[in-house]
Amino acid sequence: MNPLISPSLLSADFTNLKADIDMINRSEADWLHCDVMDGTFVPNISFGFPVIKAVKSICNKPLDVHLMIVHPEQYIDETARAGAMMMCVHQEAVVHLNRVVHQIHDAGMKAGVALNPSTPVCMLENVIEDVDMVLLMSVNPGFGGQRFIEGTLDKVARLRKLINDSGSRALIEVDGGVNDVTAPKLVAAGADVLVSGSYIFKASDPLATIHGLKHTTTAPER
């Protein structure tokens, strides 16, 4: 089974965004990853819902929206209206996570939960059967182009065991430092979805780069 590929919009050329979206539409990418940052939960500010709505109007791929913000529960309906397929919130930013996961489902979206590098997977034991996806950050969130944290590989394996033992059907997504070297290791550890930003958008041939991520890494049978 090949991994799903979700290129990160944060690394696109915002002076020529339509061209990059057209490339994504022609590519073998499965989703488009959209990082919303507020400058409080993470030390950077990215883009908001007007950009996501504009992207949705020209993008043929499902939108994988990752909210790196405080109080993401206040923006569930707006995220749905913007056209998100997946709404992913941080465990560290939500007090009543079970409630928020169900509110996301009620709004018509799939629900994802993200973990920062220092947050252990055991924090999800009581919600793992309810979520559609877990996003593991393999860099400290806030900026693209960072070096991959090698300990993420063991974390993916621990999360895979938690999912299998619980009977959950959650996908494992990894974001940060994903390239031709780290992708095979992540898939071998149990990752289902690979987010990649600068490695794709800064490549001389982004279409070939996406193809490589999609087809040169195959997930182990499980």
Domains with residue ranges and CATH for the chain: 4-215 (3.20.20.70)
What is the predicted pLDDT for the residue at 147?
80
Query: Tokens at residue 168, please?
Result: 């959950």
User: Which residues of the chain, if any, have pLDDT below 70?
Assistant: 142-146, 216-222
User: Out of 20, 30, 64, 175, which one is annotated catalytic?
Assistant: 175
Residue 220: what pLDDT? 44
Q: What is the reported pLDDT for 143? A: 62
Global pTM value: 0.94
- The per-residue pLDDT for 222 is 39
Whether 154 is catalytic is no
Is 175 an annotated catalytic residue?
A: yes
Distance between CA 7 and CA 201 in Å, rounded?
8
Contacts of residue 203, defined as CB under 8 A and 6 or more positions apart, other chains included, come to 209
In eight-state DSSP terms, residue 8 is B
